[in-house]
Amino acid sequence: MAELAIRKKYHVDFPELMRLYETNYVKLNALLPARGEVGHTRCYEAISMIYQLHILEITKYTTLIEICQSDQVAVFPLPTMSVRLYHDARVAEVCSADQLGRIQARYDYPNVKMVQRDEKAQLNRFLGDWLTFCLRHGISRAPLNIRQP
Q: What's the pLDDT score for residue 13? A: 81
For 97, residues 6+ apart whose C-beta sits below 8 A from its C-beta are 79, 80, 81, 82, 103, 123
Q: What is the pLDDT of residues 38-70, one digit of tens each?
A: 999 998 888 778 889 999 999 999 999 999 887
User: How many other β-carbons are positioned within 10 Å of the β-carbon of residue 81?
Assistant: 21
Q: What is the pLDDT of residues 77-99, one digit of tens each?
A: 677 899 999 999 999 999 988 86
Which has the closest alpha carbon to 63: 45, 42, 43, 77?
Answer: 42
pTM of the model: 0.80
User: How many other β-carbons are positioned within 10 Å of the β-carbon of residue 64?
Assistant: 16
Maximum CA pair distance of the chain? 69
Q: What's the pLDDT score for residue 75? A: 65
Which has the closest alpha carbon to 57: 23, 34, 35, 84?
Answer: 84
The percentage of residues in the chain with a pLDDT greater than 70, rounded to a whole number, is 75
